[in-house]
Structures are given as structure tokens and as C-alpha cells.
Amino acid sequence: MTDILAILASAGLWAAVLRIATPLILGTLGELLCERAGVLNLGIEGIMTFGAMIGWLAVFNGADLWTGILVAALSGAAFGLVHALLTVTLGVSQHVSGLGITLFASSFAYYLFRLLVPVAGTPPKILPFQPLQIPVLSDLPFIGPALFTQTAPTYLSIALALLLGWVLFRTPLGLAIRMTGENPHAVEAQGISPVLVRYGAVTAGSALMAVGGAFLTLSAFDSFIPTMVQGRGWVCIALVVFASWRPGLALLGALLFAFFDAFQLRLQTALGGQVPYQLFLMLPYLLSIAALAVTARRARVPQALMQPYRRGER
Amino acid sequence: MRFERRVHRPAALVLAAPVIAVAAALALSGVLIALAGAPVLEAYGRILTGAFGSRLAATETLTRAVPLILTGLAAATAFRARLWNIGAEGQLYLGAMAAAAASSLLFGSLPPALQIPLLLVTGALAGMVLLLVPLWLRLRFAVAEVVTTLLLNFVAILFVSMLIDTALKDPMAFGWPQSLPVTESGTLPKLIPRSRLHVGLAIALALAVVLAFVQARTVFGTRARAAGLSPAGAVFAGVPLGRTLMQVALISGGLAGLAGAIEVMGVTGYVTTSLSPGYGYFGIVVAMLANLNPLGVVAAALFSATMFVGADAMGRTLGVPSYIADVTVALSLLAMLVALFFTQYRVRR
Amino acid sequence: MSPVLELDAITKRFGDTLANDAVTLDLGRGDILALLGENGAGKTTLMNILFGHYAPDAGEVRVMGRALPPGRPMAAIRAGIGMVHQHFALAPNLTVLENVMTGTERLWRPVSDTSAGRRKLAALSDRFGLGADPDARLGDLSVGEQQRVEILKALYNDARILVLDEPTAVLTTPEAKRLFATLKDMAAQGLSLIFISHKLDEVMAAADRIAVLRGGRKVAERLRGQTTKAELAELMVGRAVARPVRQMSPAGSPVLTARGLGLRQGGVDRLKGVDFTLNAGEVLGIVGVAGNGQAPLARLLSGTERPTAGTLEAFGQSLGSLSVPDIVALGMGRIPEDRNHEGVIGEMPVWENAVLERLPLFSRRGLVDRRRAMAFARQVIEGFDVRGATPRTRTGLLSGGNVQKLILGRNLIRHPRILLAAQPARGLDEGAVAAVHRRLLEARAQGTAILLISEDLDEVMDLSDRIHAIVGGRLSPAVARDRVDRQRLGLMMAGEWENAGAV
């Protein structure tokens, strides 16, 4: 019990929560954007993997960190375009297309990494994003180290969650995106092309996912390890349902999830091998499944999610 | 330009679709091979000789095809009924673990004729159990099984990892994390001596034939197909949706579990966390390339195995990362989706 | 006065079919024009061209004398054309205001001006008497209210020409009356209206002018005062089609009885206290506006759902716990409401759809007996004139009428003792309707007890011996066909049946 309290009272825990949450926030926002427009994107796991690799590779080859982020975003957008081509233009199964993107993007990432990075005993490193020193805030006792020692992309991800919330619920564009996910025929009837809206949402959403992946190699760690995404993409898909397709709730969900993850990591150390570590590692996945079971029935699913749109066909 | 639904699907086009898809995938990955500075045609040549150039290579390719046939059948059976079982990877691990544990702890002293079937059934059961969880969540809580099966893959592999670290760790393995081994009498007999090819191939082929028959000719097969094509239509026609999906899940999960059991009983002898290089996931590609036809699954699995085995050999000699096989197989799935689309639609200007 | 809207020699081809053949129409300010035609006559295609969803192969659309660029919905909206779709182009999960405002502002505005939207919506609501709460979730509104939102949406886009596609299909009689009053008011205020319909009564009630479309061609145009329903019917169908006439015959003994039948789902009573008795050799009609419990009732009778209250007995045996195959084996034939989604599986061949609900009869030890199944399918195809079908044809290729013949055939060929017919003629053209009605009356003559669930007053009046109205999940008492007229049935469908003269 005192162990648990000590963990909760450590600033390190809360700093870790934000760090762990960042890729989840970005991935969840990306998936949420795709699904709000009516496209399930199971490519997320592979797109995050590719973003992690290509962002890192760019920096490893001399680009600066933000260029690395940009490169990752562009690669994600490219995969998004492929997914949109298959699911929006051709209208093939969104499930299978997404899985195909994941298989392709991750194996392509491994291939390029192996091809372009010399094999070494320890994986090569880059100098990742450093914590931002924010005047006054970072110096506050406890609050400072707990909340204000993050790297720039973390703050960016939180800002993006708020921005996406604004766009979806306060702007004409957001309304068009939401309407496309609910009833693309209604959008068409208003003279807006649901096809273009879906292309845009899937492309932008996939770019966000890739940035989420790049955070892993450019901020959380400093090297690329195949399989490092570890199912985070699938967790994001669960978080979208949990958040009932709302960016604010997605931010909250990602933080909650990251809290449990950070907490179990520390609990694992505290318990010092009395319990197999695998049990702790299982928790995030089991938690996601539990969250789905609790929320799935109540969630207000976009009505046209996974419905291909063909002009003139109902 | 617009797409128009075809009234008739030319049979030749349907049969040609996977061939065209594979050709397109090979062409695209040719670009990647060129990027690695290797001669493309020679690379393909070496993939072929690497996969079939010698007796050893050919048996190796066939050995590699066995788990792919089984996970391909698992995916094909489930997808036909629109049950999105993406959890074959986890089911495979659990099946392997169950078979190894059953052999070393329970049935180890039984003769092969008794032990082998028991182990196969144990492995299949383990796979079934793991898929029943997402099915139950879908039927009870309306949770999409596609996400839960994906998430359970990680849980299953961690669970297996935990067991081979603890209760089922092999004490004779010098501290390596590997499971207790399958006993001598639980090992699958070789199909061809002095190779790794085992009777698992015969089992997989037999199952493909049986499933093709079940799908096309039986009441169950017809109902499962109806459930997949149109749940509303199936319900109206009196297909018990829950029960049919349950039966489909048992077959699909069972096949994936069986893939694990056969792999551990025929090839590795014990379980590690690198037992499968993604057989469960590539089973999806195999199923789609086969257009969900069980006999087609055999051919598609053979193609994938050829790529995997051949690319290993090619990579060693030409310096192309062997991940090129994964890339090609994944690309062939995407290309297949496009090809399948054009079997159903034509372009109209 | 020059016309507000002109369609000039519009021609549109889909593959080998000519959907519109040089159709010319014009519309003046304050006009109400009805576009009358059967399903497949080309009405919807024509309106889709008008609205820019399709580009015509020849001809052009002019608004106030200016040609519209083809295939551009945005241009049509800008020119002041608004469309009220039959399947509303609305999203149940969004609010009324959101539904109305979608696509009305520049997409890249950093913030949506919802207060201006609110004001405009309120002004329009007042002007045309179309009340709607802007913050209500659309899915929580009734169908009639949703239609008003759909009309408001068009008006919000500053539409001066309003096209309504089958606007009364989902409305009760009073709601439809109210709608027509609104339309007349809108015309009086200078809007021009086109409404699409295949119902003669409402065309005669609401339109100034009537254009009749048949086989993609405009076959006639009449002023309302210069035509009759009979003439319009013949123009629409192309020949005088006589629907079969029901012969009087005494009903037999009761075969199906419901007592206090109820279905409660998610805290809502879908059906409550439903009582009826169905006798051999009679047609019992259940008439009502869509969404009043017909679908749940049909599901209970087809065995795809279990009642939560009351009893349902056929031949003295309770149906409550029987599965679909059991019910079919008992001698119950079932024609579902949604023939394309429930009745058949489009991707399966005709022979499989012919036997799917009777698989136990066409199988041995778990194996499908293909030979007998094929033979049965052939029998259905020949006996019921399913055109364009062989047993191996993909069912999705058949037209709606032929799908319905397949469904009728697979049931009637085995002489069911009870036949549940839900909306059996919905969406069929006049010839197919007559064929379906003839088959039903033949079955009745042979002693089959038929439960007919329908939204079509004429159909119910033509076929039924006795009639219940269904409103809000409750049944009115049955009335004999010969003791009611359309007006009284209309009242019953609106829930007023105390004085309807039950028998």
C-alpha cells in the first residue's frame, strides 16, 4: 500500500504518463479522424512502425528532428492515400485493406532499415528531442517535474487534440467530415464530394499516426527497433471506441491508459520479480479489451463507418 | 471515369486475379530489389532456386507452407462467415504451447499412435478457446472481434512467454527461455527422411480438401456462407447466427491452434517466442490470395513459402534484406484487392 | 411569363437501357408539377440529372433561361434547386441545425457561424410553418418531423425550386395532408415545386399540372382539371391493367391466433396487447403507416424473434419457442418486408435461395441434396414465371418483381397452410403487382390463410376479407372489408377506431 502511494507521489510517474500517452494521443486522433469520415484504418499499426523508422532514418542521416517528424508525416500520408484509393475509390473491404497496409508498411520499414542502416551490435542512436524548459512552470515544485519536463511533440499532441476537437465541432469543414461519416449521400447532396472528404481525412489521419510512431524513435527512445510499436496501433483503435469518437475524450482515454501503463511499470519494479513481468505487460491489452466491452454498446458509432460510398448507389 | 458492376463475372478473370496480383507484387518489389543494387531478374532466379533448387530446398519450402496452409484455412473459414479472426498468431502460439505442455507433462509416455492425435486435439482446443473469447465479446457486448483478436495476439504471446520463463521452462536449456520439449513419441514422423518435412503437410492438405467439401456441399457450409454474405437474409432463412458463428470460430481457432501444435511437433520440438515469423498474419494474405477458397489456400501458401524460403537464400548471396519476402507477400495482398475489384467491376468512361 | 426551370430533351443511357429518352419539362413560378410514373419509369434518373448527380448524355437543364453545367450538384444548389430525398439525406446522430447547415458555409472558415444559422432557420420555420428544434438530435424526431427538416434544409440553401421524391411514402394520412397544405403555401409564396409520385390520389389532390413518365419517355402532360384518375392510370401503365378481384368466399376455421401478444425491447414496447385470429381461406389485412410495429410483428410471425408477452398459436401449437425451420415445417410460408435484404441473398445463386429456409428438407445427413434442390428451383422458376433466371443465376441480377416471384414461388409451391405476406407488392410495377395479387388470391381460394401486412390502402382494400389497423404497436379491432371505406381506414390508421364499427 505504501508502495502504491509512493509511486503515485513521484513526479516521475506523471512525467512518464505524458510521455507514454503521446504516441497514443497522436495515433488515436489519426484513427478518429479517419473513422469520423467513415473509414476504418487498420493500417495504423504499420503506419506507426513506418513513421518510427523513416523519421528516425531521416534524423540519422543528418536531418533535424522536426524534419524527421515531417518526413514521417509525409510517409503516413502516402500510406493513407493508398488506403483511401483502395477503400474509397474502389470500395474494397476496409478490414482487409487496412491489414494489408499494416503488413506492407511494417515489412517495408524493416526492409529499408536493414538495407540502409549498417548492422551493428548495439542499435545506432540519434540525439532525440530534449525536454523543454518552460520558464516558471518547469521550476514549480512537483508540478514542474511532473508535468512540464516534456519534449515539444508531447505538448504538440495535446494541442492537436484540442485543435481537432475545434475543427470537428466548431468549423464547417468538421461538420462536413462528421456528416461524411454519418451519411455521405447528404454531403454529396450539398455539393461537397464525400470522396474528397474521405481522402483528406484518411490522408491527414494517417499522417498523424506516423507522427505518433516517430515520437517513439525521436523522443521516447533514440533508436529504431523492429516491432517496437508493439500493438499501440490496435490500442488506439480501442481508444477511439472508448472515446466515442470525440477528440477530448480520446485525449483523456490515452492519458488514462498511459497512467495504468506507467503505474504498472513502476509497480513491476517495486514488486521486484515476485510476479512475472509478462503479467504486467498484458495489462494494457486486457485493459483495452475491457474498455471495449464496457463502452461498445453505448458508443455512438458513425453510421456510415465501413460503408463504401458509390455515387448514385444506395 | 466510373466503375460499373459486372453482370457476369468471367471465370477466367476470377482465376487469373491472383496470378495478376502476384505478378504486380513481384514487379513492385523488383523496384525495391533494384534499390538494393541487385540485378532484379537474377534475384528472382535465385529466389526460385533457393526455394526449389535442391531436394533440401524443396522440402524446406513445403515445410514452411504447412503452417501457412493451416492459418490460411483458419482465415478463409472465418472470413467467409464475416468473422474477422485476425488472432491466428496468438491462437497458433497457444496451440503450440498446449501441445508441448501436454506432451511433456501428460501424455509423454503414450505411444505415438495415441499421443500424436491427442496432442493435435489439445493444440486445436487451445486455439478454439482463445477465439471464443472475442466471439463471446461480440455476441454479448457488440465488441468488434477484429480489434479484440488483434489485442489478444499480444496477450497470448506474453502468456506463452511467461510460461516458458516459469512453469513450463525447460531446465535442460542452459537458461534459454524455451519450453519443455515434445517427447520423442509425440514428434510427427518425417514425410521424407533426412529432411524437415513431416506428415503435417499431409494433414494440412487433407484438411484443405475436407474444408472445400464442407464449404460447398454441406448444410453447415451453406449456412455459414449465408451468414457471411447477408446476416439479415441468413436470420430470415432460419440460420442460427450465434451458433453458426460459434461453429465457424471453433473451426477457425482450431485450425490456427493446430498450426502451432503441428509446428512444434514437426519442426521445432519446443516453444520459444520466435516460433512464428508471423504465420498468423500472413495466413490472412494466403486466404485473400485464394479468394477464400480452401484449395486455393494451398497454392497461395506455397507461393508465400516460396518467397520466404527463396528470399532467405537470395538475400544471403545478393545482399538484399530477406524482408523482401514479407514486402512482396504483403504487396500481393494489396494487389489482390485491386484485382478482385476488377473481377466485379469494369471501367466505364 | 418565362419558365423558371426547363428540362430540354434530356437523354440518359445506362449500359443498354435508355433511362430517359428526350424528356422535356418546364416549370413556372408558383407551379406545382407532379411527375407521375411507375418504378423504373425514369423519374428518379431525371431528377438526379436535374440536381447534377448525373450528367445527361444529351439535352440540358436551364434555370431562369441559363443552362446549368451538367453533373455539378453545387451548380444546381447555387441556381436555387433543392431536393427532398425519399431516403432523407440526413444524419440521425447530428442535430437539426448541423444537418441543415452542412455544406452551407465556406469550408475553410475557421469557425462556423451557428448563431446566424439559428436565426435563418428560425425565420424559415416561421415563414413556412415548419417548426423544428435546432438542437434536437435528428434521430429523436418522428419521420414527419425529419421530413420537415429535409425541406428546411433545401429552403436554407435558398432553394426556389423544390423537388420532392415520393414525399408521402413515409407519412400518415393527416401528415400527408399537412404536407400538401405546406406545399401549396410555399407555391403561393412564389416557390416552384416538383413532386414525384406514383399515387394517383395525391397527384390529383396537390398538383396543378401532371407529367406522366413511362419507360423513360414523357407520354403525356395534363392540367389537373382536364384529366381523371382513370386516364392517368392508363397513361402511367400504358394499358388498362385490371387488378384481380377478390371473390367472396366463406372463411374456414381459425388457424393462427394471437392473444395479448407483446414485444418489449430496450425499454420500449414495440408491440403491446396484440390480438387477432386468422382463419383458413381468408386474407386478414393489417394496414398502417410505416414504423408502427409492422416489422416487429412480421419478425414474431416469421420466427426470427420471440414475443415477450402473450401467446401465438398455430393449429393449437405455440409458435413462441419454435425456430424458423420448425415454423416453416409446420406449413407457414413467409414473404418478408425487405425482399432484397431478408428475402434473398443476392450473392447466392437462385437455387440456393429457393431452398435456404428449407435446407433440412433438401439435405441428407448434413449434405445438401443439390439435385433435388435444383429441381425444386426449376419448378419455382417455371411455375411462377421468374424471368431471366436459371437455377445457377446470381439472384442479385434479378429485377425486384422477379425476386418477389421467386419468394412467392418457393412458398406457394408447397401449399402452405398459413402465409405471412409483408408488403408483398411494395415497389413493384403495376404488372407485377397484379401478378402477385393474383397468386395471393389463388392461394386464398385453395384454403391458405393469409396475413397481409401492408402500407398500401388500395392493396389492403383489394385483397382483405377483414382489416386491422396498426398504430404504435397496437392493433385496432378487425373490421369487415365491406363495412369500411378509404376515409374510415385512414382514420383508423391515425389511431381513431373507437367508432370504426368493429366486428
- Suggest the residue from C87, C96, C102, C166 to mutate for an interface test with chain A (most A CBs closer than 10 A): C102
> Contacts of residue A185 in chain C, CB cutoff 8 Å?
85, 87, 89
Q: Which pLDDT score, from 0 to 100, does residue B349 have?
A: 67
What CATH number does the domain containing B13 carry? 1.10.3470
CB contact under 8 A, A114 and B329: no
Shortest distance, CA A226 to any CA of chain C (angstroms): 40
Q: Which one of C334, C356, C368 has the shortest CB-CB distance to B218?
A: C368
Q: For the purposes of burial, counting CB atoms within 10 Å of the CB of A122, is it exposed (0-12), middle (13-18) or buried (19 or more)?
A: exposed
Statement: residue B126 has pLDDT above 90? yes
pLDDT-based confidence at residue B9 (cuts at 50, 70, 90): confident
Q: Which numeric CATH code is attached to C254-493?
A: 3.40.50.300
Q: Which one of B152, B288, B330 has the shortest CB-CB distance to A107?
A: B330
Shortest distance, CA C330 to any CA of chain B (angstroms): 14
B131 CB within 8 Å of a chain A CB: no
Asked if B29 and B311 touch (Cβ cutoff 8 Å), the reply is no
Q: Which pLDDT score, from 0 to 100, does residue C499 have?
A: 55
Nearest CA in chain C to A173: C107
C267 CB within 8 Å of a chain B CB: no
Counting every residue, how long is chain C? 503
Shortest distance, CA A120 to any CA of chain B (angstroms): 15
Hey, where are the domains in chain C?
5-237, 254-493
Q: Which pLDDT score, from 0 to 100, does residue C40 have?
A: 73
- As a whole number of Å, the CA-based R_g of chain B is 21
Hey, where are the domains in chain A?
10-116+133-295
What cell numbers appear for B228 in the block?
A: 457471411
**CB within 8 Å of chain A, chain C residues 32-71:** 48, 51, 53-54
Q: Which one of B150, B158, B334 has the shortest CB-CB distance to A234?
A: B150
CB contact under 8 A, B217 and C352: no
> Contacts of residue C98 in chain A, CB cutoff 8 Å?
175, 178-179
CB contact under 8 A, A186 and C98: no
pLDDT (tens digit per residue) in B219-233? 999 999 999 999 999
CB contact under 8 A, B226 and C345: yes
**Percent of chain B whose pLDDT exceeds 70:** 99
Answer CATH for C5-237 from 3.40.50.10540, 3.40.50.720, 3.30.470.20, 3.40.50.300:
3.40.50.300
Q: Which pLDDT score, from 0 to 100, does residue C424 have?
A: 92
CB contact under 8 A, A111 and B323: yes
CB contact under 8 A, B237 and C336: no
| 3 state SS of B235 | helix
Chain A: list its partners (3+ Cβ pairs within 8 Å): B, C
Q: Which one of B151, B327, B345 has the shortest CB-CB distance to A111?
A: B327
The dihedrals phi and psi of C416, each to the nearest 5 degrees, come to: -65, 155
Confirm or reject CATH 3.30.540.10 for domain A10-116+133-295, answering yes or no.
Answer: no
Shortest distance, CA B155 to any CA of chain A (angstroms): 5
How many beta-carbon pairs under 8 angstroms link A with C?
86
> Contacts of residue A244 in chain C, CB cutoff 8 Å?
none
CB contact under 8 A, B338 and A293: no
CB contact under 8 A, A311 and C53: yes
Q: Which pLDDT score, from 0 to 100, does residue A264 have?
A: 86
Q: Which pLDDT score, from 0 to 100, does residue C230 have?
A: 82
C98 CB within 8 Å of a chain A CB: yes
Task: Please give the average per-residue pLDDT across B104-108, as a whole number.
Answer: 91
Nearest CA in chain C to A180: C91
More confident residue, C249 or B164: B164
pLDDT (tens digit per residue) in A137-184? 888 888 778 888 899 999 999 999 999 999 999 999 999 999 999 999
- Please compute, for residue A49, the number of CA atoms within 13 A of its CA located in the half-sphere on the CB side: 27
| Alpha helix positions (H), C51-172 | 73-78, 96-101, 114-128, 143-156
- Suggest the residue from B5, B222, B236, B347 to mutate for an interface test with chain C (most C CBs closer than 10 A): B236
Domain that holds residue B343: 2-348
- Suggest the residue from C356, C390, C403, C406 to mutate for an interface test with chain B (most B CBs closer than 10 A): C356
C16 CB within 8 Å of a chain B CB: no
B225 CB within 8 Å of a chain C CB: yes
Q: Which pLDDT score, from 0 to 100, does residue C484 have?
A: 87
CB contact under 8 A, B338 and A296: no
Quote the mean pLDDT of chain B: 94
Statement: residue B234 has pLDDT above 80? yes
C336 CB within 8 Å of a chain B CB: yes
Stretches where chain C sits below pLDDT 70 are: 1, 239-241, 498-503
d(CA B210, CA A30): 43
d(CA A306, CA A40): 6
CB contact under 8 A, A312 and C54: yes
Number of domains within chain B = 1
Stretches where chain A sits below pLDDT 50 are: 314
CB contact under 8 A, C343 and B233: yes
Q: Which pLDDT score, from 0 to 100, does residue B325 have?
A: 95
> Contacts of residue A311 in chain C, CB cutoff 8 Å?
53
B41 CB within 8 Å of a chain A CB: no
Q: Which pLDDT score, from 0 to 100, does residue C241 have?
A: 63
Q: Which pLDDT score, from 0 to 100, does residue A314 have?
A: 44
**Element at B324 (helix H, strand E):** helix B324-344
- What's the distance, Cα to Cα, between the start and end of chain A in Å? 59
Whole-structure pTM value: 0.92
pLDDT (tens digit per residue) in C4-38? 999 999 999 877 778 899 999 999 999 999 999 87
